[in-house]
Amino acid sequence: MEPQRELFIPYNNYDIDSPSLSYEKDILTRHHPNPEHMRYELHRVWVVLATLKEGKRHIYGKRRLYLDEDSWAAHMGDNYDGQGSLWRVTMRTFVNLFDMPGMGPRLEIYHDLQKDAYLINNLINEEGGALEILDQPRNVAYYTPANLRKLGTK
């Protein structure tokens, strides 16, 4: 495999953060996030292959990461088990952080191919969307274990 190639990666994914979208009705489908709300761009990526060092232990025996040449962030990854079989794939959506400037990660999507399941971290639609979340000042009580447990059950 070439160390550099062109690949469609999740980029400028503003729509999937919209507060008008519901997790259950609009975003979460059986096997993947609803492609109607995902956006991809053709980018040059660097392919980095990491193999577990002999004598070391880790859940992944090998990983292949796809680093976007513009942001140098790993947008996608292939994770292999100890027997060399593709086990999990990961993908991160990115949006432009105009005040930075630069690109910043939003959703993290993990597919477990052996269990036929997936997980999405950082969904904020039903919390008011990205602008609402970032603009809210938080006091110390927001970060208590009790409040974080409560937020996790919504």
pLDDT tier for residue 2 given thresholds of 50, 70 and 90:
confident
Asked if 8 and 41 count as a contact pair (C-beta separation under 8 A), the reply is yes
**What is the Cα–Cα distance from 102 to 45, expressed in whole angstroms?**
17
What digits encode the pLDDT tens for the residues 24-46? Answer: 999 999 999 999 999 999 999 99
What digits encode the pLDDT tens for the residues 124-150? Answer: 888 765 554 555 677 788 778 888 888
pLDDT at 153: 65
Asked if 24 and 33 count as a contact pair (C-beta separation under 8 A), the reply is no
**What is the Cα–Cα distance from 77 to 45, expressed in whole angstroms?**
12
Asked if 90 and 76 count as a contact pair (C-beta separation under 8 A), the reply is yes
Task: Give CA separation, 12 vs 37, 43, 104, 107, in Å.
Answer: 11, 12, 10, 12
**What is the Cα–Cα distance from 134 to 48, expressed in whole angstroms?**
33
Quote the pTM value.
0.79
Return the structure tokens found at 137.
């000042």
Does residue 81 have a pLDDT over 60?
yes
